[in-house]
């Protein structure tokens, strides 16, 4: 919860859930503020406090009276974490910094991403806004579905656009065995679902996102008999393309979120899981 002189605001995220901005986010970046001799100077001291979660430097009068063109200029000098904090100050700032369709908003976040997070040079997927992309790749610091914050209990599953713990993943996915034997899904349809192969261990079966499976089956069942073969071919083609993209985004995420030591520790953890293989699901 962020407290400002404007009142109390929940830190919000692009997926609609309320999260709290942890103070350790400030350790992930350093902010650079403008210092040119102009009317902007009188705002700089107030904005220099953005690295603090309290944002006490922004008074109600300042927040509401900064001209839009100056506010946009100031945003050009802020790290994505600071932009996220600024978006939580008041409705005016949220409207500026959280619009998914505004070219100005997207330019602000893109500039910040390229300037301060060079590992995130790859553009977001077509259906994802800049702020959603940065939030998922960098700012989110707990499981999307519960309060788990231990980095080593959390994993990015870009295939499903999820950063979560194992339990929450299990709650939202289904195995191949279950689809074939309990859901009675035809095996030729499995290639139409986005799948998650958690490891290179052949004993570890792929997982499928339940809501994605339901949506895909619903689309399939609405087709005529003549339309289904071509629809399946198109799905398979799209899935193959997504698999390559997902590998890239997962790799970029790890480079962005974890330092060298953390990546090594996570690799050792995966190696341990490969040989011990505590199974959560049947094939």
Whole-number Å distance between alpha carbons of 172 and 163: 12
Q: Which residues on adjacent β-strands are paired with residue 163?
A: 156
Q: What is the pLDDT of residues 18-31, one digit of tens each?
A: 333 344 444 444 43
pLDDT at residue 51, as a whole number: 46
Among 78-92, 140-154, 248-262, whose mean pLDDT is lowest?
248-262
Write phi, then psi, for 157 (nearest 5 degrees): -115, 85
Name the token pair of 120: 């995130």
Among 5-9, 224-228, 257-261, 266-270, whose mean pLDDT is lowest?
5-9
Residue 176 exposure: Cα atoms within 13 Å on the Cβ side: 15
pLDDT at residue 272, as a whole number: 63
Whole-number Å distance between alpha carbons of 262 and 265: 5
Whole-number Å distance between alpha carbons of 77 and 108: 9
Q: What is the pLDDT of residues 204-263, one digit of tens each?
A: 789 999 999 999 999 999 999 999 999 999 999 999 999 889 999 998 998 888 877 776
What is the average per-residue pLDDT within 137-141? 92
Best mean pLDDT range from 3-7, 59-63, 153-157: 153-157
Name the token pair of 74: 């100031």
- 112 sits in the region (left: phi over 0; alpha: psi -120 to 50; else beta) called alpha
Q: Say if pTM beats, i.e. exceeds, 0.75.
A: no
Query: Measuring CA to CA, which residue among 101, 138, 165 is closest to residue 13?
Result: 138
């Amino acid at each position: 919860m962020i407290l400002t002189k404007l009142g109390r605001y929940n830190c919000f995220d692009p997926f609609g859930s309320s999260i709290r901005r942890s103070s350790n986010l400030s350790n992930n970046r350093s902010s650079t503020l403008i210092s040119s001799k102009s009317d902007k100077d009188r705002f700089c001291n107030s904005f220099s406090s953005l690295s603090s979660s309290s944002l006490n430097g922004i008074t109600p009068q300042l927040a509401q009276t900064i001209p839009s063109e100056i506010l946009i200029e100031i945003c050009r000098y802020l790290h994505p974490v600071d932009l996220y904090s600024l978006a939580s100050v008041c409705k005016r700032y949220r409207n500026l910094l959280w619009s998914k369709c505004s070219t100005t908003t997207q330019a602000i976040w893109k500039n910040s991403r390229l300037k301060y997070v060079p590992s995130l040079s790859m553009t977001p997927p077509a259906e994802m806004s800049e702020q959603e992309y940065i939030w998922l790749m960098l700012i989110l610091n707990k499981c999307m579905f519960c309060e788990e914050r231990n980095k080593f209990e959390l994993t990015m599953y870009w295939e499903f656009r999820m950063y979560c713990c194992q339990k929450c993943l299990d709650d939202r996915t289904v195995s191949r065995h279950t689809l074939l034997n309990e859901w009675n899904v035809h095996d030729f349809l499995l290639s139409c679902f986005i799948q998650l192969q958690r490891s290179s261990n052949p004993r570890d079966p792929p997982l499928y996102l339940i809501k994605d499976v339901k949506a895909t089956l619903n689309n399939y069942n609405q087709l005529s008999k003549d339309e289904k073969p071509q629809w399946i071919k198109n799905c398979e083609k799209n899935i193959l393309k997504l698999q390559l993209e997902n590998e890239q985004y997962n790799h970029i995420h790890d480079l962005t979120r974890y330092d060298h030591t953390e990546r090594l520790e996570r690799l050792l953890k995966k190696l341990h899981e490969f040989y011990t293989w505590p199974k959560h699901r049947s094939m």
